[in-house]
Amino acid sequence: MSLRLDDGGLECRQLKIDTAPSAATDPLAAIREIGNGLDILPHTHKATILESTWVKDQNMRIWSTTARPHSKYLPYSSPAKMVDFCLYLDDLSNTNALQALGRQTPTLTVNHTNFAPLQLSPIALSIETKRPGKELDAAQLQMGVWHAAQWKFLRSIVGLTGQPMSAAEEVSRRRLADEALAELGFIPGVIVQGHRWLFVCSTLEDRKTVLWTERQFGTTQSILDSYQIVAGLRELAGWIRDVYLPWFQSKVLSGLSDENET
């Protein structure tokens, strides 16, 4: 209850097509079709899917992690919650900007966690796994707290330049950060509960994180259902490539890149 009442806290809502956040409409529609078994194996992508290169071709990697969000970014009265896997951006060309960013954050990384292996690798998608049964609520809480910390971190790094800011400049930066986060719209996540793979996402309402749960898009109970999982992950990887990566480079790294070039 305290998380829901806190202005910077967390609230969970059911993810339905007619009530879903507008920013997630297209990805959710694609996930829904995949979950219904529609067009999950297009002939033009058959070889790619069968070779399991959905991550490799996107310059992304998966890391099994015990990372916890930094306490500075946690909602009030919330314990640190870790996730099991992170999909992160790899092989970014602007290493200098990433290093400049890491030097300015409390975590000394480019993420809301001080997990050293991902120090210069921005986290784009998080996956939480639970056993079948009654652990779904716990998984949703973990993902929600993790996303709340991620949103707060992103707000703190948008528009940084590598130079000290005056009070007026910081006010302007925060205003631009709020606009940039509204442009991003949502952050996706995946919860694996036993054999079920569930799409979730979070949005911001003022300072509060809303976790939208959950839409099943595949299971490991059959070969066809397993293909649905791969298709769903490819869809999310496409969103990261086409939306999140350009956003991160433009709203977070561009000012730091300019600073390193001068």
What per-residue confidence (pLDDT) applies to 207? 86
Euclidean distance between CA atoms 220 and 17, whole angstroms = 24
Q: What is the pLDDT along the chain (262 residues), one digit of tens a residue?
A: 445 555 668 999 988 877 788 888 888 888 988 887 665 555 555 554 444 444 444 456 666 667 788 888 888 666 667 788 888 888 678 899 999 999 999 999 999 999 888 999 999 999 999 988 768 999 999 999 999 999 999 999 999 988 889 999 999 999 999 999 999 999 999 999 999 999 999 999 988 999 999 899 999 999 989 999 999 999 999 999 999 999 999 999 998 975 554 4
**What's residue 241's pLDDT?**
93
- Domain-wise residue ranges, the chain: 10-42+55-254
Q: Which pLDDT score is estimated for 62? A: 65
